[in-house]
Amino acid sequence: MPEHIVDLNDWQVDEWPSTPEGEERQKNQIEEMYRTLFEHPLVEAITTWDFKDGAWLKAPSGFVRLDNSPKPSYHMLKKLIHEEWSTNTEVTTDENGFATVEAFKGEYEISADGKSAAVSFTDDEQVVIKLG
């Protein structure tokens, strides 16, 4: 940013292209931020301002480029949400029909023997589900 600019909103450029180096740095910084926030027990939501590049001062700050192609940060966040921070498991009940499942917070459908039930996992609480 030029020295004569005192307010970022006054800095207008004709073009602010995304670069491979910038996209890699963005991916790494977003991953660090999301991991830190996700692990903190007081964080309930994360809000981002730019999904697509160019939303603020034409900056390449989004998860997708101006042509809507996904950037490395998009793929990284998708992997975190749908793979690392997702629960998809099978368990076997004990002799009394009970099973312990550790899961991330969220809405799930649990099924056994052709029956199913919707369940919501919230904070560290025990949930008992009876199918049938």
Global confidence as pTM:
0.76
Residue 2 falls inside a structural domain = no
77 and 46 in a common domain: yes
Highest mean pLDDT of the ranges 46-50, 79-83, 88-92, 126-130: 79-83
The number of folded domains in the chain is 2
Burial class (CB in 10 A: 0-12, 13-18, 19+), 1: exposed
The answer to whether residues 103 and 75 belong to one domain is no
| Residues spanned by the domain of 13 | 8-84
User: Does residue 49 sit in the same domain as residue 77?
Assistant: yes
Q: How does pLDDT run across 6-21, given as a tens digit for each residue? A: 887 777 788 888 999 9
pLDDT tens digits along 67-80: 999 999 999 999 99
Task: Report the distance separating Cα 54 and Cα 12, nearest Å.
Answer: 12
Length of the chain: 132
Query: Which helix (DSSP H) or strand (DSSP E) does residue 104 occupy?
Result: none
Instruction: Tell me the residue type at 111.
Output: S
> Does any domain span residue 1?
no
Is the CB of residue 52 less than 8 Å from the CB of residue 58?
A: no
Same domain, 72 and 30: yes
Whether 103 and 55 share a structural domain: no
The verdict on 27 and 52 lying in the same domain is yes
